Structure 1
Amino acid sequence: ARQSVGVIGDDGFGSVYTTAEGGQIQLRVERRAHAGADCTKDPAPAGGQEPLVTCERDGEQWYRATESGHAYAQEQGDLVVTVSGAREEVDRAALRGAALAAHRADDHELDQVLPPAGEASGRQPVERGDLPPVGDGAPNNDVGASG
């Protein structure tokens, strides 16, 4: 999903992938001890009831599920890669496949999603004209306004 990539923690990142039908899978990459940590943290109880949480090893990955969502976590070196989604939007087999396919982008994949090298580097910010030289920097709505 455009504009879904963001920072997670100190040096991790996350993004969301969508289907044409509106389903979503979230990808998170974090530098931390091990994927098994995903199975030691329980969500806060909702409405005073203990949530139903299952957590199991599935090959080289950990699978964690609650009533509403599920996730696969896998160690890749010193990184933990987690792929998650809502149970009503993505089934376990699709989620497992996405987790197994998660990998560092190669040059060809990066060329498909990044602007050409040098196209935006070194450019100065656009001069807006509506920001005052002093004060709190709030826009001046009278500058260049048409009536």
Structure 2
Amino acid sequence: MIRAARALPPLLLAAALLTGCGTEKADPGAAKPADPAELASKAKALGMNPDLVYVTEAPGFTLAQQSVGVQGDDGFSASYADDTGAVIHLYTDHLRYAGQHPYEAKEKDCVVWLEGEGGVSGAVLAKAVRAIHRPTAGELDTLLPTPDPAFTDDQPVQRGDLSPAGDGVPDNSVPTPGL
């Protein structure tokens, strides 16, 4: 009985320590799917079909935000780079392009494929193919910018270098000092 009493406090201590494990809360937006309406609004503003927007993950690679754009007519493309200059390109398009790429995944109504450059190994591309998914709420904010409500397709871009008179050729003259 004395031995049991001596063993009991360490067991209680271990139980107390174990109950404290795993109490950290994950970022609520980390795995939450992106709001379909927000995804549609952002994608359409950039000329992309929202159903064709997918992302991936690869250890050591991060999204190059400036690479996000349209693939083909309404598909999606993005690139992920690492510190060595290696790049993984992600492309999506309609299913008619399925079966043409060594690293691809067929998703809902599209095909997503990856291409590597700068020494990206086939093993890394294969892992990245398995990680293809629709963007989460957290990823969407990084992936697609919020459209500027002031911008509309019916308003031409205002350029400061166009002459208000004449044939509209850009004014590239340089002012002469003292004149």
Using the size of structure 1 for normalisation, the TM-score is 0.61
- Paired residues in the alignment total 110
- Superposed CA RMSD in Å reads 2.7
Is residue 92 of structure 1 aligned with residue 122 of structure 2?
A: yes
The 3-state SS of whatever aligns with 2:128 is helix
Q: Larger C-alpha radius of gyration, 1 or 2?
A: 2
Which of 97, 100, 110 matches 1:79? 110
Instruction: Report the residue type matching 2:108 in the other structure.
Output: G
Report the CA distance between 1:29 and its aligned residue: 0.4
Pair 1:30–1:140, CA change in 2 (3 A):
same
TM-score normalised by L of structure 2: 0.51
The Cα shift of 1:77 comes to 1.4
Q: Does 1:35 align with 2:98?
A: yes
Gapped regions of structure 1 (runs ≥ 5): 40-63, 65-71
| Residue aligned with 2:67, SS | coil
RCO comparison, higher one (Cα < 8 Å, 6+): 2
Match of 1:110 in 2: 140
User: Larger % of helix: which?
Assistant: 2
Change (3 A) 1:84 1:34: same
Mapped to 1, the partners of 2:110 and 2:104 lie a distance apart of 10
Give the structure with the higher percent strand.
1
Counterpart secondary structure, 2:105: strand
The answer to whether the 8 Å contact 1:34/1:75 transfers is: no
Change in CA separation of 1:113 and 1:4 when aligned onto 2, cut-off 3 Å:
closer
TM-superposed deviation, 1:128: 3.9
Q: 1:13 offset after TM fit, Å?
A: 2.1
